[in-house]
Amino acid sequence: MNSFTYANPTVIQFGKGQIASIADLITPDHTVLLVYGGGSIKHNGIYEQVTEALSKHAWTEFSGVEPNPSVETLDQAVALARKKKATFILAVGGGSVIDGCKYIAAAACYDGDGWDIPSGRHIVTEALPIGAVLTIPATGSESNGGSVISRAATHEKCVFRSPIVFPKFAVLDPDVMKSLPERQLTNGLADAFVHVCEQYITYPCGGMVQDGYSEALLRTLSTLASQFADRDSETWQANLMWAANQALNGLIGVGMPRDFATHMIGHELTAMFGIDHARTLAVVQPALLRAQMENKKDKLEQMGRNVFNLPEQVAEGTELAERTVQAIEAMYHSLDIPTRLRDHGVTDPAFIDTILVQLERHGFAKLGEREAITLDVSRRILTDAM
The residue type found at 261 is A
CA distance 336 to 221: 15
The residue type found at 108 is A
For the chain, the residue count is 386
CA distance 325 to 237: 26
Span 17-56, contacts to ligand NZQ by CB under 6 A: 37-41, 44
Between 177 and 373, name the residue whose CB sits nearer to ligand NZQ. 177
**If contact means CB under 5 to 8 A according to the sort of partner, which of Zn ion, ligand NZQ, none does residue 131 touch?**
none
State the angle between helix axes of 293-306 and 208-226 in degrees (0 to 180), rounded to the nearest 10: 70
Contact 286, 376 (CB under 8 A): no
Does 276 contact Zn ion by CB under 5 A? no
Q: Are strands 31-36 and 130-134 parallel, antiparallel or unpaired?
A: unpaired
Between 277 and 299, name the residue whose CB sits nearer to ligand NZQ. 277
Does 135 contact ligand NZQ by CB under 6 A? yes
DSSP letters spanning 72-100: HHHHHHHHHHHHTT--EEEEEESHHHHHH
Query: Per-residue x/- mask for ligand NZQ, residues 50 to 89, rule CB under 6 A?
Result: -----------------xx---------------------
Span 158-177, contacts to ligand NZQ by CB under 6 A: 176
**Which of 142, 191, 198, 369 is close enough to bind Zn ion by CB under 5 A?**
191
CB of 281 to Zn ion, least distance (A): 6
**Which of 30, 34, 74, 99 is close enough to bind ligand NZQ by CB under 6 A?**
99
Does 96 contact ligand NZQ by CB under 6 A? yes
Report the b/e string of 177-200 with b at 16+ CB within 10 A.
Answer: beebeeebbbbbbbbbbbbbbbbb
CB of 148 to Zn ion, least distance (A): 8
**Which of 146, 207, 304, 368 is close enough to bind ligand NZQ by CB under 6 A?**
146
The binding site for ligand NZQ (CB under 6 A) comprises: 37-41, 44, 67-68, 93-97, 99, 135-136, 138-141, 144, 146-148, 176, 179-180, 184, 187-188, 191, 248, 263, 277
